[in-house]
Amino acid sequence: MRVAESLRGDIVRRELSTAPFLVAARGGTPSRLPVWFMRQAGRSLPEYRRVRGSVPMLTACFDPGMITEITLQPVRRHGVDAAILFSDIVVPLKAAGIGVDIKPGIGPVVDHPVRDRAGVRSLPLLEPDQVDAVHQAVRLLVAELGSTPLIGFAGAPFTLASYLIEGGPSRNHEHPKALLNSAPQTWTPLLEKPPHQPHISLKPNLPPGG
């Protein structure tokens, strides 16, 4: 059994290495043009609407089963050349214990915006085990996807800091710009807080095939 599993793993890894999406990402010439698209898993799919139902977005983002199923849906329906992990860029903030929710028609809304040094100091840290649900989902997906690549993503530190400072979406980022210009001694530590560091939230995407 172990020999068979090892051989299957070797075959999948070889197929994955020549997947059109990964070949193109490495700057090579793929056997065909790889196709995937932003928001390929979402409201356009009836199966997505059935699975999500009335489940809040961030609740779904911490459910390994829902993450796995929703990520797989467009691969099954459309045969896209890469799966995109079902998640949201504010997942690390929520995981760390920061009061944030995704309001329909608005986007991420933070309970208590951070606009001074005391607020920055009070922000909780993010530990890797706080995104364990994502880690579990990635492992499930790698097993299910086989030779189909999985795309993970994370919010840039500036983007996450902007949500924390503004308290929600903003076109002009007035408060982040003001803090950056008037109090760099507060701005810099904010960017260095673990919830804003992409490598922490991306680590769960790094098992073989992730």
Q: Which residue numbers are catalytic?
A: 39, 43, 52, 88, 163
Instruction: Please say whether the beta carbons of 48 and 73 come within 8 A.
Output: yes
User: Pick from 11, 5, 13: which is nearest to 208 by CA?
Assistant: 13
Question: What residues form DSSP beta bridges with 84?
Answer: 151
Angstrom distance (rounded) from CA 20 to CA 29 = 8
Angstrom distance (rounded) from CA 153 to CA 19 = 19
Give first-to-last CA distance, the chain, whole Å: 24
- From start to end of 54-119, where are the E strands? 83-84, 100-103, 107-110
Cβ-defined contacts of 144-147 (< 8 Å, 24+): 144/68, 144/72, 145/72, 145/75, 145/83, 145/209, 146/12, 146/15, 146/16, 147/12, 147/15, 147/16, 147/19
